[in-house]
Chain A
Amino acid sequence: MKNIIETKKLCKTFSNGGIQQHVLKNVDLEIYEGDFTVIMGASGAGKSTLLYSLSGMDKPTLGSVIFDGTEITKMDTDELALFRRSNCGFVFQQIYLVDSMSVLDNIMAAGLLVYRDRKVLAKKAGDLLKSVNIDESLWGKFPTQISGGEAQRVGIARALINEPKLVFADEPTGALNSQTGKAVLDTLTKFNEKGQSIVMVTHDITSARRGNRILYVKDGEIAGECILGKYVTGDKERQQKLNDFLTSMGW
């Protein structure tokens, strides 16, 4: 299987008032194309730091991140921004839509970074919104006028508009109730089934079940890995395997 991301000796240290905190310690990792990779771990284990280091959103202290053959750790801030446009999509826990823009414009604002033809982009954005079950009547509304679940699905559409090589999702259901969270996970699963590579950080076991590869982060290191295979609804054997893995990790 082709890897999209490869990290070598990835370290991240935070310094606060002279006290150093080693959040990531020599992480060697590969993320594969087409996978729904889930990063799990306790609070403060370093899973979000790992996610943002992989995506080029944050700079590691040491080590390298090679994204589709390009070492992104050597890039400056603007080069990383240009890199992210077509390679990365982001889904955040707090959703982070731009409040002053309509639902459609939130998607367009991301799409315009890559696409020049507005008509083509508008159609693509519309199709994406339909595919994440956002009714056309909501396209002109502002993020504060729609529900959290709807907003997160808009966030997913925004993450996918530029057909990124990888979607990074940081606790995408963390701010949602179970029902709307399920809809969001269904959406992500659907796109993964279509071939979209996803890396998701979560500490929610229900969310983690959607992944086919689970990485467990403990004290800044990859403590373990569990390969589950593709998600199938109601697959109890798969569910048990995950439970066993997490138990072995001290979950």
Chain B
Amino acid sequence: MNKILLLSKSNLRKNRGTSVGLFLLMLIATALVGISLLLFFDCYPTARKTSERLKAGDGFITIRGDLDGFTDEKIEEVLGPDTDDYYVYRALTYSTLSLPFGDGNVALSLNLSDSHAFSRKMNFFEVVKEDPSITENYVYLPYQFNTSGGFDIGDTYEYENSGNKYSYKVKGFTDVAYGGCNNTGRYEFVVDDASYQKIWDNERDEGETIFIIYDLKDGVKSGAFRIRVSNEFIKINPNAIADGLDIDAVIENRTFIGLILAVSMLVLTSLIVIVVALMLANCIANYIKENMKTLGALKAIGYTGKDIKMSLISWFMVIAVVASIIGIAISYLAMPIFAQIMIGQMGLSYSVSFNALATIIPIAFVILFTLIVTVICSGKTAKIQPIMALREGLESHNFKKNYVALDKTSFNPTMSLALKTFFTNMKQNVITFFVVGLMVFACIIALLMFENFSRNPKIEILTTELCAGVIASDLDSKDDVYEYLDSRKDVTNIREIIYMDFYYNDEEKLFTYIVNDPTKMNNTSICYKGRLPVNDNEVVVSGAFAKAYGFEIGDEIKLDYGDNSFKYLVTGFVQTTNNGGREALLTYKAASHVVDTDSIPTWFWFDITDESKDTNANKVAVDGILEEAKEKYDSHIINTMNFYEIIGGSMTTFKSISALMLVVMISVSVIVIALILFLLIKSLIYHKRKDYGIYKALGYTSGSLMLQTALSFMPSVVLSVIVFTVVSYFVANPYMSMFMRMFGIMKCNFDIPAAGAAIVGIGLAIASFVVALVQTRRIKKIEAYNLLVAE
């Protein structure tokens, strides 16, 4: 064993550069795997841990509208058989308010509570941070307002509802189970008791809501339970509206961006792991080639092939063990940066803690992976015959063709000799081609995310319909509001939309859009397969729902609303990131089979005729339209939304995540390319050291040889950049679809900015050239004299 360790030690000492290069690559791979797993195993489950800590139960049900008849006894009667525990409280609810957040506004439901929110038996709030000196007219906002909403303690928070303006001082931020994240569709605020009482007194009739937080008995299906309970509540009072959500769906919505981050990190990591495998194999092959004589001598004095193989294994294992341990330490150090993005999106307090799985798996993975590659690639040492090796008779010179004949080519000497080097080093070219290509692909994916989530947000993947503004009116003013919008020259394409919950098979709730004319919808890409409904017996359902229940286009689906049911023909599938991927869309006529659409308030979605490229100008134009409507119809206006405001707010968390991904991917790509070129160039210079000595003796300068060597890598870099940029352009969307599917986006249609992709490609090519040029500096150290007399 000692002799093997002796050999390994000698290898480490003799091949410091290679060892350091591989060490850094393994370190990056471990750190990235570590971060991905910490996100998965530690940060991502924070939402569930927090829900458990805040006793959020298995879900909640709200009852709004006419609350007569909902006594404690009646509620117990309905809930009792299926629940282990439940808790009932009353608070105020506003459906779809435009709330200031981040770079704009978000359109969500708002639950308002008083200080009792902190002492409830279930679903209580926890203060993350606060200023106790603020004692009146204050609000506690969900923590997300602090992490990515741009608000801090002491700021003034203002919003508007039905013409009433509310203004509070921010006293603190809270961890909230159900209403803490914009992706869950609702926020929960706590205001001071005096302010709450005032609002309660004034708005109780419209906003009073019964909240029921429940823990289900084992074996009770949540979806079926909510449907049964909602139906029974409607039986208690037909004018009541019962609604609810599972904690699982809330957690899913709350964490899906974090999951995108974790998955993206894993995708990047998988590319790096392939690169490490390529380089490890290449280093072993080079080692054998460079040390043929030594290996022959070792065999001649009695070392077996197994001894040599073991020495190689222990050499690379030492590197893998040290790199993976330091890599994991780095992942813990870097985690707060990545966690910040998760926290921002989830709106939860989180601090990095030790996670055994996320620590052990990357270390074990890198060690095992190194072991497998080394065992496979070092097999060649067993076949080395001492005599042949001592004569260095293996793979000495095997040139088949004189590429770029110097008497025929029109390139200058540097370029000609660079091309010669290029053609005689195909292994180097193949590795460069794939490494640069994989990194180009990773960067283009990051660019795609940045373009579609940050620079030009692709809002259509987050919402069912795109428009400029929305006005919701009560039934009394419905026709007047339509006439008002229709009469305006700056308003065009008015759509009427109603939101309802339809049910499937007493198991699933489908958030359903009822649209007067789906052909007028702007966001036709929502229907990724089949077509939008036209006739009164047609419906489109979300792809995730269809997959879960095995529906195909052309199948019939029975949808229920209250006691009414109707069998619809599925004409297509829609994609959605909302409502747990359970959505449907049908026409007014189709919906009328089960619901009286005239008795439900309508939302008018409209576009503006002269949409400007300046978002602010559009915002002002839509504000004008909405303000006039509010003035005209006053309390008949239930709600308004300016989409130009909402886009900014909704995309706030996406912007930071996509910008981070772009920075991380480009940085990692440049580092990986630099490391690979370092290893390849080091090996190339070693193999060509005699040639460089000859060139120098002939009169070639170090500068021209450096340029020549750096240029020899460029054909494969340039070819790789071109090929992979083109391939990425066509493959990026299907590739993104593969993992966006888990978030409900079934068919990606992201824009890939051609100019941006070209800049990334050209940038990486230039960076590769600069890195190669820098790394060829070691040619300067080669002295013709030393080399020639040393032989």
A→B interface (CB under 8 Å)? 48, 52, 57-58, 77-78, 81-86, 88, 90, 92, 94, 96-102, 104-105, 108-110, 112-113, 118, 121-122, 125, 140, 142, 144, 158, 170
What B residues does A100 contact at CB under 8 A?
399, 420-421, 424, 691
Q: Is the CB of A109 within 8 A of B417?
A: yes
Q: How far is the CB of A152 from chain B (nearest CB, A)?
A: 14
Q: Is the CB of A90 within 8 A of B703?
A: no
Q: How far is the CB of B494 from chain A (nearest CB, A)?
A: 74
Q: Which of B399, B407, B700 contacts A113 (CB 8 A)?
A: B700
Which of B245-253, B276-284, B652-660, B783-791 forms contacts with chain A?
B783-791
Known: A100-B424, A118-B407, A122-B407. A52 touches B699 (CB 8 A): no
Fill in one digit per residue for B679-691: 1 if any A CB lies within 8 Å of its CB, else 0.
0000000000011
Q: Smallest CB-CB separation from A88: which chain B residue?
A: B699
Interface size class of B (residues with CB under 8 A): 35 or more
B→A interface (CB under 8 Å)? 396-397, 399, 402, 405-407, 409-410, 413, 416-417, 420-421, 424, 690-691, 693-703, 780, 783-785, 788-789, 791
What A residues does B416 contact at CB under 8 A?
112
Q: Is the CB of B407 within 8 A of A84?
A: no
Q: Which of B399, B407, B690, B701 gathers most chain A CB within 10 Å?
A: B407
CA distance A3 to B619 in the complex (A): 89
Q: Is the CB of A98 within 8 A of B399?
A: no
Known: A57-B784, A58-B785. A78 touches B413 (CB 8 A): no
Q: Which of B405, B417, B702 contacts A77 (CB 8 A)?
A: B702
Q: Is the CB of B405 within 8 A of A78?
A: no
9 nearest CB pairs, A to B: A85-B699, A108-B406, A122-B407, A112-B413, A102-B402, A58-B785, A84-B699, A144-B397, A78-B701
CA distance A136 to B789 in the complex (A): 32
Excluding A83-B699, A113-B699, A125-B407, 12 further A-B contacts by CB distance (< 8 Å) are A57-B697, A77-B701, A78-B702, A85-B699, A96-B690, A98-B695, A102-B405, A104-B407, A113-B700, A118-B409, A144-B397, A170-B788
What A residues does B703 contact at CB under 8 A?
78
What B residues does A57 contact at CB under 8 A?
697, 784-785, 788
What A residues does B406 contact at CB under 8 A?
101, 104-105, 108-109, 112, 118
Q: Smallest CB-CB separation from B703: which chain A residue?
A: A78
What A residues does B407 contact at CB under 8 A?
104-105, 108, 118, 121-122, 125
Q: Is the CB of A104 within 8 A of B700?
A: no
Q: Smallest CB-CB separation from B791: which chain A residue?
A: A94
What A residues does B697 contact at CB under 8 A?
57, 84, 90, 92, 96
Q: Smallest CB-CB separation from A114: which chain B residue?
A: B699
Q: Smallest CB-CB separation from B786: which chain A residue?
A: A58
Q: Is the CB of A82 within 8 A of B701?
A: yes
What A residues does B696 contact at CB under 8 A?
81
What B residues does A122 contact at CB under 8 A?
407
Q: How far is the CB of B288 from chain A (nearest CB, A)?
A: 20
Q: Is the CB of A98 within 8 A of B691?
A: yes
Q: Smallest CB-CB separation from A158: which chain B residue?
A: B698
What A residues does B698 contact at CB under 8 A?
84-85, 90, 109-110, 113, 158
- 24 CB contacts below 8 A, A to B, read A52-B789, A57-B784, A58-B785, A78-B701, A81-B696, A81-B699, A84-B698, A85-B698, A88-B699, A90-B697, A96-B694, A98-B694, A108-B407, A109-B417, A109-B695, A110-B698, A110-B699, A112-B416, A118-B409, A118-B410, A142-B397, A142-B402, A144-B396, A170-B788
